[in-house]
């Protein structure tokens, strides 16, 4: 049973989604460290979803259409905001001195940029109700019948999913960071920001209309 769950976690990790898009944005705009911090924020958000399911709290969300819709629209709005910000950065950097600076310097003070990167990952995941629904669907399939063991086993399985998410997104950030060093010409940076902006806005519209 554990092998099947590990395979499921691996499959989910390898499937690109909202978390992947946000980590990609952080790496391209602020560097590898920001991408890893965004991955950590995503993993923490996933842990919140998993813990809520394990404690039985997320059932309320699954049963309430109003709550589900509110969380979904909040996530869509956040993605649209991130997309608009990327488009604004592309416009702001056009012809400015930022074209001659490393991305980390152009992004502002390191501490502020790092906090924003972590918060972006956390908020993106927290406002994605699909994470809750995944755990609601998956965890019961692997829990023992003994109620006394169900909670600790559920928390353990949740921790495994979080580790997979953190590892997968961090490796993606590190790999993308290497490519970023080669492809950080000012014009290419602006193209990246525009493409990311349009992609994130498109994801936000998709989430809102699903």
pLDDT digits (tens, 9 = 90+) for 16-68: 778 888 998 888 888 889 999 999 999 999 999 888 887 775 565 566 777 66
Give domain status of residue 11, yes or no: no
Q: From 82, 41, 73, select the one nearest 166 (Cα to Cα).
A: 41
Count, residues in the chain = 210
What sign for the dihedral angle of Cα 67, 209, 21, 136?
A: positive
Enclosing domain of residue 82: 19-209
Average pLDDT over residues 169-178: 90
Give domain status of residue 103, yes or no: yes
Give domain status of residue 39, yes or no: yes
Q: Which residue has the higher pLDDT, 103 or 150?
A: 150
* Range ranked top by mean pLDDT from 3-17, 65-79, 90-104, 117-131: 117-131
79, 85 Cβ separation under 8 angstroms: no
CA distance 61 to 68: 6
- Taking only the tens place, the pLDDT of each residue in 105-137 is 444 444 566 788 999 899 988 888 778 877 877
Give domain status of residue 45, yes or no: yes
Q: Give the DSSP H/E element, type plus range, for residue 173.
A: helix 147-182
Q: From 26, 205, 50, select the one nearest 121 (Cα to Cα).
A: 26
pLDDT at 155 over 60: yes
Please report, to the nearest 10 degrees, the dihedral formed by the alpha carbons of residues 65, 133, 203, 82 taken in order.
Answer: 90
- pTM higher than the cut 0.85: no
CA distance 151 to 148: 7
Give domain status of residue 4, yes or no: no
Count: domains in the chain: 1
């Amino acid at each position: 049973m554990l092998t099947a769950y590990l395979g499921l976690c691996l499959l989910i990790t390898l499937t690109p989604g909202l978390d992947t898009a946000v980590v990609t944005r952080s790496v391209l705009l602020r560097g590898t460290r920001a991408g890893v911090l965004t991955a950590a924020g995503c993993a923490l958000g996933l842990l919140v979803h998993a813990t809520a399911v394990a404690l039985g709290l997320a059932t309320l969300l699954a049963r309430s259409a109003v709550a589900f819709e509110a969380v979904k629209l909040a996530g869509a709005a956040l993605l649209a905001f991130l997309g608009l910000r990327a488009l604004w950065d592309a416009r702001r950097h056009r012809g400015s001195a930022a074209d001659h600076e490393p991305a980390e310097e152009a992004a502002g003070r390191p501490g502020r940029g790092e906090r924003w990167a972590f918060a972006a990952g956390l908020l993106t995941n927290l406002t994605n109700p699909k994470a809750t629904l995944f755990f609601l669907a998956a965890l019961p399939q692997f829990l023992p019948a003994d109620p006394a063991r169900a909670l600790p086993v559920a928390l353990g399985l949740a921790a495994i999913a979080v580790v997979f998410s953190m590892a997968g997104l961090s490796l993606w950030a590190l790999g993308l960071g290497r490519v970023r060093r080669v492809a950080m010409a000012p014009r290419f940076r602006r193209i990246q920001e525009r493409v990311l902006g349009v992609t994130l806005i498109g994801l936000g519209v998709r989430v809102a209309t699903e």
